[in-house]
Amino acid sequence: MNDSGQEKPNTNPGRQPLLPEQFSYRSLLRNYISLSGLVIVALALANIIVLVLIDLTSSRSSPYIGLLAYMVLPVFLVLGLVLISVGIWRERHRRLTATAGEPMRLHIDLTDPGHQSRLIFFGATVVVFTLLSAFGSYHAYHFTETTSFCGELCHTVMHPESVAHDHSPHARVACVDCHVGAGASWYVKSKLSGARQVVKTILNTYPRPIETPVANLRPASQTCEQCHWPRNFWGAQLKVFNHFAFNEENTPRQVRLLIKTGGGDPKAGLGVAGIHWHMNIANKIEYRSDEKRQDIPWVRMTAPDGTVTEYTTSEATDESTAGLEQRRMDCVDCHNRPTHRYNPPDLSVDQAMAANRISPTLPWAKKVAVEALTADYKSTDEAVASIAQNIQQFYQEKYPKLALSRAGDVQNMVEETKRIFRENIFPEMKVDWRTHPDNVGHHYYKGCFRCHDGEHKSASGKTITKSCTACHTMLSQETGVLPVAVVTAQAIFEHPIDIGELTEVNCADCHTGGVGP
């Protein structure tokens, strides 16, 4: 009823009149759910802004900043927005049902200035949030492709691989360049695999050590050959091996070999020769092996002229080899540890002594260091403490005067031995040089002898050679020289014709590259 006693017309048939504050979104936010969402959004947004600024201005990216800024906090931001929306919806529904007994209906009137302003605000919010989400998603994508994400976030699980990567020739090559291919399919495949690994990490069911993904590695043509040109002819390469004996004098011995690296493409070099004869350019080599590709009972070689020759070991039969994986040989069959290398203690100590990081003049240094490295330890902390104690105790008991007069050299030996352990042996993950064989060469592992063992024969009686000279030429061996010399004798160049007093002129003064002397 109005003041004149007449009944006021009902402008909202079927409903009770609604109060203005029932449509005020500010008032609708006054509920525990929306307020909780506001708090979460404010905290998440503030932290995201701070972390993004730190990430953009920092000289070195941190995996934890990236994880929080682009992956964890955005989840809380979205959760907060959802809580705000749910709270507003519930509060509006409650008010409408309390006054009119009807459920809430969406009503937008574009002629209403209030609706217009709210719609503009909503649209602007969606655009800004979409742009921020795109920015965050872009950085999240690139963050998951970084080496720090792969190697540092899962400390215990991937710690051996991360350490080995950082000290390898490919330290500046990102993990994804070899383990994840370009394109959406490889990305999705890697992330699905990563999701399974995260679950195993949380449940503590991951294997120790982490198995090398031999079967899942991308083809060498898509990885190695993007930087290493397979058609290049390398010729012969000088290789110097320094060894120290397990005696009191640490007797040095140097072996110098000329490695016949050669090449696999007659168009790019001096013909198909040397170790790189195995390349798939001029020859096709296939083999069957166990899952780890360490036992190879069957080999098939297809020559450039189409001639096919099969080689098998005496124990191999058609039945025993039929179920084995058949693979065409490529780079990684020999270079299987190009990045994640775990060097044997014998090799590591030889290298340290040749570089004088462990003094070769300390008696029994080679033997003491290797024994300290090969002892059985349950953890890295235990190993580091035991290595220091054992080395110092040895010299204090066996050579007390030397332990005092050369305390600095003994301490350097301790620190170098601990460094070798930290970079190559990981008790927590049961990783060391024995769990991951390196197939380049044949000194510590089967390597070349997986096929070149003299046991692989063809039906006609032809044998895959085991001759040392097939891959390298021995130049010299020298024992007992300290410091070890790289070259013991130097030949004098003799010109093919007598040039008299012209020996003092530059070669290029006569040799022009065309017809001439």
Pair of tokens at residue 133: 């989400």
pLDDT of residue 70: 67
Separation of alpha carbons 329 and 285, rounded Å:
6
Separation of alpha carbons 473 and 238, rounded Å:
10
Pair of tokens at residue 273: 């020769």
Separation of alpha carbons 37 and 85, rounded Å:
9
Asked if 255 and 484 count as a contact pair (C-beta separation under 8 A), the reply is: no
Calculate ∠ Cα 260-262-265, nearest 5°: 160
Asked if 65 and 54 count as a contact pair (C-beta separation under 8 A), the reply is: yes
Separation of alpha carbons 482 and 465, rounded Å:
36
User: Any long-range contacts for 148-155 (C-beta under 8 Å, 24+ apart)?
Assistant: 148/61, 148/62, 148/63, 148/66, 149/63, 149/66, 149/67, 150/175, 150/176, 150/179, 151/175, 152/63, 153/63, 153/64, 153/67, 154/201
- Tell me the C-alpha to C-alpha distance, in Å, between residue 163 and each of 156, 167, 210, 366, 451: 11, 7, 14, 24, 31
Asked if 345 and 308 count as a contact pair (C-beta separation under 8 A), the reply is: no
pLDDT of residue 103: 53
pLDDT of residue 195: 72
Asked if 208 and 429 count as a contact pair (C-beta separation under 8 A), the reply is: yes
Strand partners, 240: 256
Place of tokens 């503030």: 46
Q: What is the SS3 assignment for 289?
A: strand
pLDDT of residue 157: 84
pLDDT of residue 102: 53
Residue 452 neighbours by CB under 8 Å, 6+ apart: 464, 465, 466, 470
One DSSP character per residue, 229-275 reads -TT-----EEEEEEEE-SSTT--EEEEEEEE---BS-TTSSS-SBSG
**Amino acid type, 449:** F
Pair of tokens at residue 200: 């195993």
What are phi and psi for residue 441, nearest 5 degrees? 85, -160
C-alpha 141, offset from chain centre: 17
Walk along the chain (517 residues) and give the pLDDT tens digit of each residue: 445 555 545 444 444 444 444 456 667 777 888 888 888 888 888 878 877 777 777 766 565 566 667 677 788 888 888 888 888 888 877 777 766 555 555 566 777 777 778 778 777 877 777 777 677 666 766 676 677 777 776 657 888 988 999 888 898 888 878 887 666 666 677 667 777 777 777 788 888 888 887 777 778 888 888 888 877 777 888 999 999 999 999 999 999 999 998 887 777 666 677 888 888 777 899 999 998 999 999 999 998 888 999 999 999 888 888 889 899 998 889 999 999 999 999 999 999 999 999 999 999 999 999 999 999 999 999 999 999 999 999 999 999 999 999 999 999 999 999 999 999 999 999 999 999 999 998 989 999 999 999 999 999 999 999 988 889 999 888 888 765 555 545 667 777 888 877 767 788 878 878 876 5
Its pTM stands at: 0.72
Q: What is the SS3 assignment for 122?
A: helix
Separation of alpha carbons 390 and 372, rounded Å:
7
